[in-house]
Structure 1
Amino acid sequence: MLEVTQVDEKKVLKPIDEMLVDPWQVDIQELFEASVNEPDEIKRNFYESLYTYVLQKRQEDIISRPGFII
């Protein structure tokens, strides 16, 4: 039987939280390439979700700037 080990959420979530504090510090191209080139579907979906989140946060930042006009 396989032994199931518990993942320490603080060790996993802390780097993700730190990475997403400032979406402008994340290499969005690297996230995109990781999502395109990842053979594992679960990891690919994770990278796609991170990419979408960072892109959305950047867009919100730009749109909320004073003087922004479409």
Structure 2
Amino acid sequence: MLGVTQMDEKKILKPIDEMFVDPWQVDIQELFKAFHNEPDEIKKSLYDALYTYILKKRQEDIINRPGFLI
């Protein structure tokens, strides 16, 4: 029987190249849940790195929009 984490992996982890091409297509909430619930430290580190990367790319996209002011 598949555990929750294994099911989340299949649901979340599209090929990594797809995540890098369009970070807006990634369900960032599911990625965070996978990170939070992962007992394996190596996988947890991977989820954390992916989450951070996607979040930074989204922030860059918003900051680089015309008319963006801080």
Q: Tell me if TM exceeds 0.5.
A: yes
For the aligned pair, the TM-score class normalised by the smaller chain equals: 0.7 to 0.9
Q: What's the RMSD between the two structures over aligned residues?
A: 1.3
How many Å apart are 1:19 and its aligned residue? Answer: 2.4
Task: Give the aligned length.
Answer: 57
The 5 A counterparts of 1:1-70 are 15-70=15-70
User: Which one has more relative contact order, counting CA pairs under 8 Å at least 6 apart?
Assistant: 2
TM-score (norm 1): 0.77
How many Å apart are 1:45 and its aligned residue? Answer: 0.4
Q: Which runs of 4+ in 1 moved over 2 A?
A: none
* d(CA) in 1 for partners of 2:15, 2:54: 15
Question: If each structure's helix is expressed as a fraction of its own residues, which one has the higher value?
Answer: 2
Q: Which amino acid aligns with 1:62?
A: I
In structure 2, the gaps of 5 or more residues are 1-13
* d(CA) in 2 for partners of 1:37, 1:28: 14
Percent identity between matched residues is: 77
TM-score (norm 2): 0.77
* d(CA) in 1 for partners of 2:55, 2:19: 13
SS in 2 for 1:65: coil
